Structure 1
Amino acid sequence: MTTIRGARTAKGRMRSPWRIALLVALAVVVLGTVGLGWIYLRLNSSIHTFDSGGLSKHRPTAGPSQSENVLVIGSDARNDGNSSLGGGDANDIGRSDTAFLLHIYADHKHALAVSIPRDTLVTIPPCKLPDGSWTKTQTKTMFNAAFSVGQTDKGNPACTQNAVEQLTGLRVDHTVVVDFKGFAALTSVVGGVRVCLPQDVYEKDLDPNRATLGNLLFKKGEQTVSGQQALNYVRIRHGLGDGSDIGRIKRQQAFLSSLIKKVKGNGITPTNLLPLADAATKSLTVDPGLGTANKLISFAMSLKDIDLHNTKFVTLPWRYAGERVAVVEPDASNLWAALKADRTIDGTDASGRKQPQGGASESPTPTRNVSGAGIDVAVYNGTTMSSLTPKAVAALTEHGFNVTVTARASSHDGTTTVIEYGAGLKPQAETVARLFPGAQLDFIGGLGINVVLGAPYATGSSSAPATPTAVPSWVTDDARSADDDPCSNLTYGSGG
């Protein structure tokens, strides 16, 4: 006869497999959660952030859309173990030999990366030094020098970000610096990147100071590279095409296209991104807004819907100025204006806004939303109506603009209000123009913005509305999509 105690014991034995299974499942969940938490903790401890206190006090205002601008800097620093990959002085804090501004359109279905040649002559705004003082503005200085002006790893990224905001008139939302180690590690984690060489490449092509040709580094044609080989590929400048940095930029754009294709092919999921983040954070320096693993991975996840064909690469409109590179205007300003308006380089509206029914265009943003913080404006009266100047000054100061000069225009027919702007200032000029309906935008060179008042401003009427200027065809025709053939458009100049 089975006792009550025996019955309970037997019943307990029958339940024990389910109980064990439940405990095992619970343990797996707990351990998995703890493990994931440990990984995030490790990632957080590896992330380096730069000093955002070095950012300019007169930054461009953020636009009304949900677009984002991300500055990506490739540092050639030799410190922190990078000299083993790139050679040179192990104490060298480096320059930004590779840099591009990535514009993620508000619809999060399009992206455009604009490469900025290292030799571009730009204005470098004041930069914060380790002792807390600020440098003076430097004009006609090579762009890659901005990264070393701050004299420290913590300060350099802010100096370069200030220079890019000065150049483009666009607010940079995030900045990411990748050094040699981080780049090599990323390419290894994804299992290598498919590239193409237009010809055989030897050691002398990487180091022109060599007396001999050296060993063969790459055979002509397609191949997969990672680690040191990948680093060699993006650094090669001499011996391909005309040996210029412009040609190297083309190969770097092709490499990034293949890298994006590989990452998207593997699948953009938190599980796949964790190994990438683990490798990257050991050698990444980011702005505080990306300073945690969660923020970095969330940002990467936000890019998963951008199609390869809609991921484009272009180079800042440029021309040679002796041995340096000059910005071509107004072409560059037209490119920045397109990004600010969330127009793709082919003119597509990628703002994500719904168009009104019937095909009518949207009404302009009300002037109450105009912010002129940090924008200096000179006002010139091109009419005989003396009351126009105080009216314009009051409107500008009410919206935060800083009016620096008021005077009579030297010569103007007074039939149209004109907003004149200097290099890199078209986006700010467009902000000014929102207070002057129908104003004409006119690039004049120089460094400032002038409002030349016309008769229509007296009555509040407008002449023909200003329309955005298209991105020049010579820029769009040279664009690369992330799904392009890796062997196409690899060099500039001879041999291309």
Structure 2
Amino acid sequence: MTTTSEQPTASRHRRRADPPRRGGSRGGGAGGERKRRPLRTALLVALALVVLGTAGLGWIYLKLNGDITTFDGDGLSKNRPEAGSSKGENVLVIGSDARNDGNSALGGGDKTDIGRSDTAFLMHVYADHKHAVAVSFPRDSLVDVPPCKLPDGTWTKEQHHAMFNSAFAVGETEKGNPACTQNTVEAITGMRVDHTIVVDFKGFAALTDVVGGVDVCLPNDVYQRDLNPKRATRGDIIFHKGEQNVSGQKALDYVRLRHGIGDGSDIGRIKRQQAFVGSLIKQIKSEGLTTTKLLPLAEAATGSMTVDPGLGTADKLISFALSLKDVDLHNTKFVTIPWRYEGERVAVVEPDASELWAALRADRTVDGTDASGAAGKASPSPAASPAPGATVSGDGIAVAVYNGTAEGGLASDAASLLTSHGFTVTGTGNARSQDHATTVIQYGPGKESEARTVAGLFPGAELQSIGAARVNVVVGQSYTASSGASPVPTAVPSSVADHARSADDDVCSNLSYG
């Protein structure tokens, strides 16, 4: 279109220069040509620049498309939460510790080793596109890993009480299994993951180089042995106490560092990673989220990034990044899934975790703000809110329901809710006691998976192991008969919200990181 708009301009200049040629003088004609040449040259140069600029942009897009790697969408679960299970958009970000493709040079280790997820968080972008929250999953969290696809096309059986980062290692391939991690996160949260992005060591280091480094702050000096505990001596200082800018290998060392700061735990490292990502977002937004600024970032990252098929082209990737430009730094929060230590591992704390997912499904922010984007509309009352478990399927699952409160009719109401979702209700009645504050899902041997499916209809319910091989629902006072579900929380639990970090927080705040 640029070429077409230039042509009429050139022809108008020719018409102005034509009359002197009617005098019959060749010299006059020659003189006219000499007067026209500078203008024609300028137009040709301008046209060439436009064409070359467009071609250059096109070349970059082609290069980006060629660099983007997608994982197999056939590996995603066949029993996913429905699209729209939450009002906003959910993006799973996985940091891979795979050593293939030159990553061993940055992270050390055997380049043929299997890939694992070094870090992972689910970014929920609220429907108003002005708020976002990233929820980190500790790598040692004990979770249920649903069936996942192996490289030979077969599917695994569900794993119970497995470490979260083991999902990425299903199939034991060098590049890992991002679809299995996505399946696991969807099963944990009950929310559909719209996009998944996997970044390896090289991509991370290149990204920090392109933005000119990221500001961090350390509470004390850090030595070589803190990064590599197998060293016999303390070694040299690799990070000095205080605020500093890191990029490339130094940035990678910073986010992987576990010892020498705070309590040396993985939870402490997660807090440090959250602070780093917040600082990175601040740096990127300070440059402005435009196509011109995003292209170098995309070029740096795509060569070492794996994405879901929905982000498999440069247009889709950059369009997605631009959709985040209005998310406010202060309203970008970082939290960790509710947790407690279980021996050397990490257990997920209920009902706090279920309340967190329910709040995000309802597009409630950390402080309880309605970020659904419904401008000018009052927040819906709990009774008017859709059931958070609206996508739960109970096909093939038998449940007995008991009323654990003094309020009549709750067992029948809960039974109707279960039946409407395909569960088989074997009977209703009153529980042995009517003082249950919270709904309890009881399960016997081999029934935990079914119990967790039932819990999808009762946010905040507690799971309780019993001796008999059956599943019972004991309805508590938290259940609301008029809504058919527990009230939607107005905010994430205080156990989560009290430790939230904002992207605009001072990099030197909360330096202990554990």
Q: Sort the TM-score into its range (normalised by shorter chain).
A: 0.7 to 0.9
Q: Give, in angstroms, the shift of residue 427 of structure 1.
A: 11
Is the contact made by 2:351 and 2:460 (CA closer than 8 Å) also made in structure 1? no
Is the contact made by 2:80 and 2:192 (CA closer than 8 Å) also made in structure 1? yes
Q: Give, in angstroms, the shift of residue 272 of structure 1.
A: 0.7
Q: Structure 2: how far apart are the matches of 1:375 and 1:335?
A: 26
Q: Structure 1: how far apart are the matches of 2:375 and 2:213?
A: 41
Q: What is the aligned partner in structure 1 of residue 508 from structure 2?
A: 487
> Which of the numbers 402, 409, 432 marks the counterpart of 2:422?
402
> Which of the numbers 337, 341, 348 marks the counterpart of 1:320?
341
1:67 corresponds to 2:88: yes
Counterpart of 2:384, as a letter, is P
Q: What is the aligned partner in structure 2 of residue 271 from structure 1?
A: 292
Q: What are the ranges of 5 or more consecutive residues in structure 1 without an aligned counterpart? A: 434-439
Q: What is the aligned partner in structure 2 of residue 124 from structure 1?
A: 145
Counterpart of 1:199, as a letter, is N
Q: Structure 1: how far apart are the matches of 2:415 and 2:338?
A: 38
Is the contact made by 2:115 and 2:175 (CA closer than 8 Å) also made in structure 1? no
Equivalence map 1:99-178=2 (5 Å) = 99-152=120-173, 156-178=177-199
RMSD over equivalenced CA pairs, Å:
3.6
What is the percent sequence identity of the aligned residues?
63
Give CA-to-partner distance per residue, 1:163-197, whole Å, 9 cap, x none.
11111111111111111111111111111111011
Is the contact made by 1:122 and 1:140 (CA closer than 8 Å) also made in structure 2? yes
1:392 corresponds to 2:413: no
Give CA-to-partner distance per residue, 1:299-330, whole Å, 9 cap, x none.
11111101110010011110011111000110
Q: Give, in angstroms, the shift of residue 349 of structure 1.
A: 0.3
Q: What is the aligned partner in structure 2 of residue 437 from structure 1?
A: none
Q: Structure 1: how far apart are the matches of 2:453 and 2:52?
A: 53
> Which of the numbers 257, 280, 285 marks the counterpart of 1:259?
280
Give CA-to-partner distance per residue, 1:58-105, whole Å, 9 cap, x none.
111222665111111111111111111111111113211211110000
1:228 corresponds to 2:252: no
Is the contact made by 2:127 and 2:373 (CA closer than 8 Å) also made in structure 1? yes
Q: Give, in angstroms, the shift of residue 490 of structure 1.
A: 3.1
Change (3 A) 1:450 1:214: same
Equivalence map 1:183-332=2 (5 Å) = 183-332=204-353
Q: What is the aligned partner in structure 2 of residue 443 from structure 1?
A: 462
SS at match of 2:353: helix
Is the contact made by 1:168 and 1:425 (CA closer than 8 Å) also made in structure 2? no
Q: What are the ranges of 5 or more consecutive residues in structure 2 without an aligned counterpart? A: 1-21, 443-447
Give CA-to-partner distance per residue, 1:424-465, whole Å, 9 cap, x none.
9999779747xxxxxx964345699866799xx9xx983898
Q: Structure 1: how far apart are the matches of 2:231 and 2:414?
A: 67
Q: Structure 1: how far apart are the matches of 2:414 and 2:329?
A: 52
Q: Structure 2: how far apart are the matches of 1:481 and 1:38?
A: 37
Q: Give, in angstroms, the shift of residue 489 of structure 1.
A: 1.6
Counterpart of 1:354, as a letter, is A
Structure 1-normalised TM-score? 0.86
Q: What is the aligned partner in structure 1 of residue 203 from structure 2?
A: 182
SS at match of 2:298: helix
Q: Structure 2: how far apart are the matches of 1:291 and 1:16?
A: 47
Q: What is the aligned partner in structure 2 of residue 364 from structure 1?
A: 384
Q: What is the aligned partner in structure 1 of residue 482 from structure 2?
A: 462
Structure 2-normalised TM-score? 0.83
Q: Structure 1: how far apart are the matches of 2:277 and 2:386?
A: 40
Change (3 A) 1:23 1:377: farther
The total of aligned residue pairs comes to 475
Q: Structure 1: how far apart are the matches of 2:239 and 2:160?
A: 40
Q: Give, in angstroms, the shift of residue 402 of structure 1.
A: 3.3
Change (3 A) 1:341 1:408: same
Q: Structure 1: how far apart are the matches of 2:415 and 2:271?
A: 50
Is the contact made by 1:429 and 1:441 (CA closer than 8 Å) also made in structure 2? no
Is the contact made by 1:50 and 1:154 (CA closer than 8 Å) also made in structure 2? no
Is the contact made by 2:352 and 2:495 (CA closer than 8 Å) also made in structure 1? no
Change (3 A) 1:319 1:21: same
Equivalence map 1:26-45=2 (5 Å) = 26-45=47-66
> Which of the numbers 359, 369, 376 marks the counterpart of 1:338?
359
Q: Structure 2: how far apart are the matches of 1:428 and 1:353?
A: 31
Counterpart of 1:241, as a letter, is G
Counterpart of 2:191, as a letter, is L
> Which of the numbers 483, 490, 494 marks the counterpart of 1:473?
494
Change (3 A) 1:421 1:263: farther
Q: Give, in angstroms, the shift of residue 52 of structure 1.
A: 1.2
Q: What is the aligned partner in structure 2 of residue 436 from structure 1?
A: none
Q: Structure 2: how far apart are the matches of 1:98 and 1:16?
A: 62
